[in-house]
Amino acid sequence: MPVPVEASNACWSVKPPSKKIWDEGKEMMKTHAKIDGCWTCKLRRKKCDELRPRCGDCDSLEISCDYGPKPAWMDGEEQQRQRTVWLKNEIKRNSAYRREKSKASSRVTNDTTSHHFNIISNIMVSSNLLSTEPIGSVMSGDQTSAPASNSATSYELAPFTLLPYDHQHHPRSDSAGQPSPIETDFIMKYLDFVFPALFPFYRPAVLETGRSWLLLLLGKSKIAYHSIVSLSCYFFTMALTDDDSGEEHADCKQLRWKEVEQQTNKCFDSLRTDILALDLNSKGAPATKLERVEILGSVVQVLIFESALGKSAPWNSHLPPAFALFGEIMACSDPSYQGQGQSKLAAVLLEIGQPLWTKPGRDNYIWSPDQAGFRFCAGLLIFIDVVASTAVQESPRLISYYPDILARIDDGTSVVSGAEIRLSTIVGCRNWVVTTIAEISALNSWKRERTEATSLSVVELVNRASVIGNSLKDNILEIHINSTASLPSHPNYRVPFSTGPNPSDSSIPTLIWAHAAQLYLTLVVSGWQSSNPEVRTDVAQIIELLHTVPSYQLRALAWPLCVAGCLALESEESSFTALYSNLGKVYTAGALDDARQIMEKVWRIRPHLNATTWNLASCFSILGSPILLV
């Protein structure tokens, strides 16, 4: 977890106290009762000098020092083994810091002060994340007894147990099982800052259910709870680093960021392991539709984390189970709803549960948190599926669900009582562009299969592409016509209690996506030809539009930005690098930073590209594996 520590951990040394002062303090701090050392020294099988509040050995190694009742991790079994491994890693990490400080001090002799932030500690997540017990039962602050067995649902190794020593003693939960103040703070940081940063276009109106589904998911899913807290801590660490005024030595900061990424990867690895162990029939009976919705919400949360984590996340391993869950949920088993004139998605939502409110008339519902959560997850999953298909050169898996899921009209506004989804209100890109990119991806997959079978018809390829291209141009022209009216001075600011988003909010992002879709279509038909006049026109349009977008929205435009950037000429490179010039890590981490690395690597090899074999998927895999730019 990212937590600040004292500024004394700088790149300069402090004169140690004299032996006399040390011995006097040692005697004063010893207790009269027999202690036999701290629990950390017992775990490490080291002799303890019993100093308080931290013994000399733990203090010198900068690790946690525990006195008092026997900790739950001293169980002689799995938790004790995990704690031992963590301590070894913590000692190695601190040793690396000391070496780095020593190197930095030899180079920067004039520095007198420096800020230091401790990094996310090695978060250990219980292997029993899918227990049916409520969150409170596993978040208890009582550490007086060890678990009865490995199979017990003790959760003492939850994220805040293993904070560095100077922040380890924050109360985690009260006797009633409520989250501790620091957990509550990180949850609110996620709701107030992290989630809006990841989804800047998702702003439900006052008459909609809002983000209450997130709070409901936190109470039901340990996977969602601990992963949300972990991601909040991850962004908090980035905010701390971005807030640094530059006093910290560059080498020290680089080392700390490396630790942030390594420790966060370990946390997400634990979450991925538990998702893969998911069993919908563990109780001997098929899971209900609501139970599947809750599980899908947890899986989508992991996908969100992996997109925030960036290129090191094996996102492709979670898409198949997410697609399977989605298909099972969409398999409507009660025909009575559709017999009443309900749409397919409305029938599925009504099978999940009862709406919060029902107004007179058909389809006039205010959806419950469970229903609203499924609508968000379904829309995001369709969007992820489309973007992923462009990286792996396969047809989108969920393309057959579009007529049932996506609204026929998406003009950038939301319909409070509507069931069908408008992606502009989730990811800022209107339905018609996303479905068009899906069609282009499917066309690319068809072309690839026919080419491998040596049966490709160029005429058929051009005819199919012409239909897609003409539709794209017509929709782009329509947006330009509808956007001629003057925009409000603050188009992205919503007055409290307003009933819907301004259509202009998604106009420019949708145009950027549409021009990127035209680039994609041109590449599928004509191959990698950066000098193509149509390519040059679309790249120029995207550059112009990108510089009108607020910086906080750029994360949602990573895919079109990367597509245009990879096709940029050398003279246009600065237009893309300028977008990153004033952005902190908290705004670029994840997909946006991956897009930058992809572009820069393509630029370096541009003179040597083989235009006959190079394609967009080649760009997305240039860092070693296909990248999910969402």
Residue 7 has pLDDT above 50, yes or no: no
Q: Is residue 479 part of a domain?
A: yes
State the chain's maximal CA–CA distance in angstroms: 92
For residue 581, the model assigns a pLDDT of 86
Of 267-271, 469-473, 480-484, 501-505, the poorest mean pLDDT is in: 267-271
Q: Is residue 167 part of a domain?
A: no
Q: Distance of CA 180 to CAs 69, 191, 211, 235, Å?
A: 20, 17, 22, 20
Closest to 272 (Cα-Cα) out of 327, 220, 223, 225 = 223
Q: Which of 52, 78, 95 is the last residue of a domain?
A: 95
Contact 297, 334 (CB under 8 A): no
User: How much is the average pLDDT of 525-544?
Assistant: 94
Q: How far apart are CA 473 and CA 522, in angstroms?
A: 13
DSSP letter, residue 311? T
Of 151-160, 172-181, 483-492, 522-531, the poorest mean pLDDT is in: 151-160
Contact 235, 197 (CB under 8 A): yes
Q: Is residue 396 part of a domain?
A: yes
Q: Is residue 311 part of a domain?
A: yes
User: How much is the average pLDDT of 159-166?
Assistant: 33
Residue 595 has pLDDT above 60, yes or no: yes
User: How much is the average pLDDT of 216-240?
Assistant: 81
Q: Is residue 148 part of a domain?
A: no
Look up the pTM and report it.
0.70
Contact 143, 69 (CB under 8 A): yes
pLDDT category of residue 126 using cuts at 50, 70 and 90: very low
Q: How many domains does the structure of the chain reveal?
A: 2
Which comes out higher in pLDDT, residue 149 or 66? 66
Closest to 508 (Cα-Cα) out of 547, 469, 555 = 547
Which comes out higher in pLDDT, residue 116 or 568? 568
User: How much is the average pLDDT of 273-277?
Assistant: 54
The CB-side HSE value for 111 (13 A sphere, CA atoms) comes to 21
User: How much is the average pLDDT of 5-9?
Assistant: 35
Q: Which domain holds residue 350?
A: 234-483+500-621
pLDDT in tens, 381-399: 999 999 999 999 999 999 9
For residue 630, the model assigns a pLDDT of 87
CATH code (residue 44): 4.10.240
| CB atoms closer than 10 angstroms to residue 100 | 17
Q: Is residue 13 part of a domain?
A: no
Q: Is residue 83 part of a domain?
A: yes
Q: Is residue 561 part of a domain?
A: yes
Q: Which of 95, 118, 141 is the last residue of a domain?
A: 95
For residue 36, the model assigns a pLDDT of 73
Q: Is 365 helix (H, G, I), strand (E, B) or coil?
A: strand
Q: Which of 58, 78, 95 is the last residue of a domain?
A: 95
Q: Give the chain's count of helices (H) and strands (E).
A: 25, 2
Residue 509 has pLDDT above 90, yes or no: yes
Residue 230 has pLDDT above 60, yes or no: yes
Residue 9 has pLDDT above 80, yes or no: no
On average, the pLDDT of the chain sits at: 75
pLDDT in tens, 33-60: 445 788 888 888 888 888 887 888 888 8
